[in-house]
Amino acid sequence: QSVLTQPPSASGTPGQRVTISCSGSSSNIGTNRVNWYQQLPGTAPKLLIYRNDQRPSGVPDRFSGSMSGTSASLAISGLQSDDEADYYCAAWDDSLHGRVFGGGTKLTVL
């Protein structure tokens, strides 16, 4: 059972907009910034969003992040076939004194 809660799966068709949610608590998302990662099979996670809504250089603006209260969201617009991957949210937890990850969301492009 992950501290941050994500839906296990999400799907969309090419060109569509998909949103993945991440629910936490006051000790993690409510206090600290959220990162979002994309992981392709057999590879290390790649940072998509940091500080809730900031994109590292090189990440397309099709990816966007938002945060409200103790929840965060990752939105992917103009869905492409190579967006098919696992997506994870992460934040520092002040009560656990550690970083917590969501359980991951497997995105399928239909």
Partner 1 sequence: EVYLVESGGGLIEPGGSLRLSCAASGFTFSTHTMNWVRQAPGKGLEWVSYISQSSGTIYYADSVKGRFTVSRDNAKNSLYLQMNSLRAEDTAVYYCAKIAGTTGADYWGQGTLVTVSS
> Which residues in this chain contact partner 1 in the complex, by CB under 8 A?
2, 33, 35, 37, 39, 44-45, 47, 50-51, 54-57, 86, 88, 90, 96-104
At its nearest, how many Å lie between partner 1 and the CB of residue 43? 8
Residues whose CB is less than 8 angstroms from the CB of residue 98 and which lie 6 or more positions away in sequence, other chains included: 92
What DSSP designation does 83 have?
G
**Alpha carbon separation from 100 to 11, 31, 45 (Å, rounded):** 24, 13, 15
User: CA–CA separation, 30 vs 92, rounded Å?
Assistant: 10
> Which of residues 44 and 61 has its CB atom nearest to partner 1 in the complex?
44
At its nearest, how many Å lie between partner 1 and the CB of residue 60? 14
> Which of residues 84 and 86 has its CB atom nearest to partner 1 in the complex?
86
> Which of residues 8 and 14 has its CB atom nearest to partner 1 in the complex?
8
